[in-house]
Amino acid sequence: MFHSVAELVRLAEERQCKISRVMLEREVSLRQQTEEEIMKAMDANLTVMEQAIEKGLKGVRSLSGLTGGDALLLQQYIASGNALAGSLVLDAVSKAVATNEVNAAMGIICANPTAGSAGVVPGVLFAVKEKLNPTREQMLEFLFTAGAFGFVIANNACIAGAAGGCQAEVGSATGMAAAAVVEMAGGTPKQSAEAMAIALKNMLGLVCDPVAGLVEVPCVKRNGVGASSAVVAADMALAGIKSRIPADEVIMAMYEVGRSMPSAYRETAGGGLANTPTGRMLEKRVLSQ
């Protein structure tokens, strides 16, 4: 039905519908299921996301001891009233971190688009929920819109850190969340595309360098920063700001950058933060447990 962001936007504009509607109908056609069945399956994903955030905000620790408790710390900081950034942005950061802390603690999460980048989309969604007061159906639409952009990225570039670095994981998730929140906030399909382009192009070159090969350091905090970037990119697009480079070309650039990355920066723990003195010390400690 669509293979590019340009085609996705064109379909939504021609039919005068949301991007989420285009994606939902694609899923109905592809899976040969009813809308009710597709929505029910997505609702199950949404429930998993919500439960992961709730669990993470109570405070969890990973088995390695490398991560945990930061989502709770950030919520306490927000409550203090001393935060420099806005509460919505920091709430998105906290909830994104909470999700990935649960992942690191072997809890249940919903990969979107991957486990290592699972916090960005739900972090943004459940943060803006407090401001926009969406219905359950609108929250599901958010996920379908995010999925539509993720579908395009996955089929024209990559979403795996091993293939394209962290730009392909957290970068893609950031673009997906930015596009989805624009739609939820009343933006146009074209503005969703602009937000996705702004978000993703500012993640270009981000390497995947997990300490000790675990999806913890720096992965958890990168999800938090990705969530904050998604909200900012969405606001920029809603303000009328456009990306000089079209979304599809940003995706192409991400693919090109990912292909040119040395293997040390693609999930092998061979370079970057994983290869720092502290990174190697932590690796030795974890592997000796």
20-44 confidence digits (pLDDT tens): 999 999 999 999 999 999 999 999 9
Both tokens of 125, joined, read 């969604």
Mean pLDDT of 170-193: 98
pLDDT value of residue 60 = 98
What is the average pLDDT score of the chain?
A: 98
Q: Give residue 236's pLDDT.
A: 98
Q: How confident is the model at residue 117 (pLDDT cuts 50, 70, 90)?
A: very high
Per-residue pLDDT for 237 more than 90? yes
For residue 233, how many other CB atoms are within 10 A of its CB? 29
**Token couple for 132:** 């926009």
- pLDDT category of residue 120 using cuts at 50, 70 and 90: very high
φ/ψ (deg, to 5) at 68: 135, 145
Q: Give the CA diameter of the chain.
A: 59
Q: What's the per-residue H, E or C state across the chain?
A: CCCCHHHHHHHHHHHCCCHHHHHHHHHHHHHCCCHHHHHHHHHHHHHHHHHHHHHHHCCCECCCCCCECHHHHHHHHHHHCCCCCCHHHHHHHHHHHHHHHHHHCCCCCCCCCCHHHCCHHHHHHHHHHHHHCCCHHHHHHHHHHHHHHHHHHHHHCCCCHHHHCHHHHHHHHHHHHHHHHHHHCCCCHHHHHHHHHHHHHCCCCCCECCHHHCCCCCHHHHHHHHHHHHHHHHHHHHCCCCCCCCHHHHHHHHHHHHHHCCHHHECCCCCHHHHCHHHHHHHHHHHCC
pTM recorded for the entire structure: 0.97
- At 289 the pLDDT is 84
Between 64 and 1, residue with greater pLDDT: 64
- The rounded percent of the chain whose pLDDT value lies above 70 is 100
Whether the per-residue pLDDT at 135 is higher than 90: the answer is: yes
- With cut-offs at 50, 70 and 90, classify the pLDDT of residue 85: very high
